A = this chain, B = another copy of it.
């Protein structure tokens, strides 16, 4: 790596309870919700006010997640968005698709900001939503207003947003690792293929046979071939960068590990260009980004290098034999792919330092 950033820890100066950001989390006991609490608990400018959970209302957080024992013993409540809005500066929704849209109203947005970790406000077009999610969108009036919260691409809009649609896990990794190629018109956009791999926590905490330990351990498979819902989201954002429609192939796979996403993306080059030149283009494109690390030549990411952190690690190589570029990117699906990026969005929305609460060193082991 020829360029590095000093990621420093910010200590609040003279904080009082008055200038802490009051947050509520809806869907607190799913994996994304849990991760959000974990990150926000150590955030220097955040006070966790409300946690709601359909499945565990009435219990204490530490009864559901024993790791919080002695740390945060807050009670989990039934969903009450109105009360949460009254008491909180921002509400995080961490629910399956369809549920957040049903809760959001103008009244709510006048009281609080919304960060939806779910899928409801990511796609700008309600018909595309219906086509991929197989349900009608219940709050299409907010689709235009909602800002797609991929911080590195939409930072300015996020700062002034009332609703931020936190990107999907696969999409964050895919878009960030392809954006410089599309923006710099280096590739034939019709040739983009994204082969993506995720740890099992990406499938959530709901009981299902395929994610039972003996069914997913020691095995590897593809799923959702040609039909995964993150496809239109990636296409939407890369098309916006390209200024014209991009249709691409996206294939997710399940890796027998808890955390991490790695995407291997392929595209045909339309220019004669070398690995080191493309690497420079990436470094330039992301030159002000703390959370995006561009690898030096012939060095590539591994999911462990970003574990428990908000980094996107990207390695790029051109193959003169095939005249293709291969971009490999890694994120932690629960951090940059969900809760971490949600915190980053919150930081932007509230005008505080963008990396607040997100400075942990990746835990390689």
- The chain B residue with its CB closest to the CB of A260 is B220
Cβ B70 vs Cβ A293 within 8 A: yes
* Residue in contact with A221 in the complex, picked from B195, B248, B300, B324, CB distance below 8 Å: B300
- The chain B residue with its CB closest to the CB of A4 is B70
Cβ A44 vs Cβ B257 within 8 A: no
Mask of A240-259 contacts with B, CB within 8 angstroms, 1/0: 00000001110101011111
**Nearest Cβ distance between residue A225 and chain B, in whole angstroms?**
5
**Nearest Cβ distance between residue A34 and chain B, in whole angstroms?**
7
Cβ B365 vs Cβ A334 within 8 A: yes
How many A residues, CB 8 Å from partner? Answer: 97
Cβ A262 vs Cβ B42 within 8 A: no
**Nearest Cβ distance between residue A352 and chain B, in whole angstroms?**
15
- The chain B residue with its CB closest to the CB of A248 is B322
**Nearest Cβ distance between residue A190 and chain B, in whole angstroms?**
8
Cβ A363 vs Cβ B363 within 8 A: yes
With A5-B70, A7-B70, A193-B266: A201-B214 Cβ-Cβ less than 8 Å: yes
Q: How far is the CA of A290 from the CA of B363 in the complex (A)?
A: 23
Cβ A365 vs Cβ B262 within 8 A: no
Cβ A257 vs Cβ B218 within 8 A: yes
Cβ B328 vs Cβ A225 within 8 A: yes
Q: How far is the CA of A122 from the CA of B205 in the complex (A)?
A: 36
With A1-B62, A34-B365: A257-B256 Cβ-Cβ less than 8 Å: yes
Residues of B close to A365: CB separation below 8 A: 31, 34-35, 201, 214, 258-259, 334
* A–B Cβ pairs within 8 angstroms, 30 of them: A4-B73, A31-B365, A42-B359, A66-B302, A67-B363, A69-B295, A70-B311, A191-B191, A193-B193, A193-B324, A195-B266, A197-B197, A199-B214, A201-B214, A207-B207, A207-B209, A213-B216, A217-B217, A217-B256, A218-B259, A218-B260, A218-B303, A220-B260, A220-B302, A221-B302, A222-B262, A226-B326, A249-B324, A308-B308, A334-B365
